[in-house]
Chain A
């Protein structure tokens, strides 16, 4: 789209946006971080995790899909918004089996990092759903533990749109909806460890595991040990 850029406000800060940009895209460019899990740079927006929910002129919308508009007043980093986001992150923790102490993604995990950022530390009121899905270690280089999947669909979009393969897809409905592979198991798909979908940046949690990498970088020296999730974006702000 073409046209004049315009200004809108996030938490009182003036942000410039180009027509067609989403609230999140404009915020990223302006160095304002809006928490998100299913959205990642380079892939289509999905609007599924809802962690990026903001109030735009009083209406709740997902910042990753909602176009910015002139004079829009967006509420982002407020206690009320962050409480709701914390609920969502906690829901994802309880939907799967997220035992950080035994997970090799710990420290590089966006779900965990989001819990840090949103201060998920009080006693939970949510029940644990404790799924019991089979591990798929059939592939020589990649393992899948979908008990840790948060249904963000990043691997689906990466495989489809970037790799042109379609290794992953959603199956089922409702609480039974989950990511599955295009074949009997991962070894019977055309998945390769060099696929973008299998890169560490795509799976935000410890569901897609690249074998033989596990603890090469020790706990305590990992990505989110060096700063809150989103700090790279926030540092862009002058």
Chain B
């Protein structure tokens, strides 16, 4: 890159477990070298909650299970040149998408929420209610992989992805020489 300025990176965890963010830390000491080329904007790592300016790279962990995830993902798409889906949940829905398999029921969402909060055998929910605070975003009919909602430029597979594959992908992307993953490094687990 000829541009002397640091690349601006934003990250977010949607319907994920933060495992992929932890995996970013698995880059270990390579993070120090990387930080010479990169600065983090909006991200849980910086605790910056809104975009301060346009970013070069947006990294998304998790898929979309509620309306806020969709809103955030669209914000990222608007504010980032390159969007990366990080990990299986962002790529294909992951664990939260297990609920998609009951989508063929008559009222799948109600069935899902009722089992989770009312009728499930291992519950201790004294209120016997499905949580419905106005601050809670509406749940989507199913869990969507990020690429079903917005255009995704790259996907880094894994649950969670290894520090190695995250590092090599970011490093080569920043140098403009990313040509795909080494087949030996691809993992979906």
B160: nearest chain-A partner, CB-CB: A101
Q: Judging by beta carbons under 8 Å apart, are B104 and A132 in contact?
A: yes
Complex interface: stretch among A28-36, A47-55, A115-123: A115-123
Contact residues, B57-113 vs A (CB, 8 A): 85, 88, 91-95, 97-98, 100-105
A57 to chain B: which residues have CB within 8 Å? none
Bound-state Cα–Cα, A121 to B91, Å? 9
Bound-state Cα–Cα, A124 to B155, Å? 10
Bound-state Cα–Cα, A205 to B188, Å? 14
Q: Please report whether the interface of chain A is mostly helix, strand, loop or mixed according to DSSP.
A: loop
A140 in contact (CB, < 8 A): no
Q: Judging by beta carbons under 8 Å apart, are B188 and A122 in contact?
A: no
CB distance from A101 to the nearest CB of B (A): 4
B147 in contact (CB, < 8 A): yes
B51 in contact (CB, < 8 A): no
B173 in contact (CB, < 8 A): no
B189 in contact (CB, < 8 A): yes
Contact residues, B128-164 vs A (CB, 8 A): 142, 145, 147, 151-152, 155, 157, 159
CB distance from B157 to the nearest CB of A (A): 6
A232 in contact (CB, < 8 A): no
B47 to chain A: which residues have CB within 8 Å? none
Bound-state Cα–Cα, A107 to B97, Å? 21
A107 to chain B: which residues have CB within 8 Å? 189
Q: Judging by beta carbons under 8 Å apart, are B147 and A124 in contact?
A: yes
B184 in contact (CB, < 8 A): yes
B183 to chain A: which residues have CB within 8 Å? 116-117, 119, 228
Q: Judging by beta carbons under 8 Å apart, are B104 and A106 in contact?
A: no
A130 in contact (CB, < 8 A): yes
Give the contacting residue for A123; candidates B85, B94, B180; CB below 8 A.
B85
B88 to chain A: which residues have CB within 8 Å? 99-101
A101 to chain B: which residues have CB within 8 Å? 88, 94-95, 159, 188-189
A159 in contact (CB, < 8 A): no
A147 in contact (CB, < 8 A): yes
A219 in contact (CB, < 8 A): yes
Q: Judging by beta carbons under 8 Å apart, are A130 and B101 in contact?
A: yes
B151 to chain A: which residues have CB within 8 Å? 123
CB distance from A236 to the nearest CB of B (A): 19
CB distance from B121 to the nearest CB of A (A): 16
Q: Judging by beta carbons under 8 Å apart, are A121 and B187 in contact?
A: no
Some 17 contacts from A to B, beta carbons below 8 A apart, are A97-B101, A100-B188, A100-B189, A101-B95, A101-B159, A102-B98, A115-B188, A116-B186, A116-B187, A121-B180, A122-B155, A123-B147, A123-B152, A128-B93, A128-B100, A132-B103, A228-B183
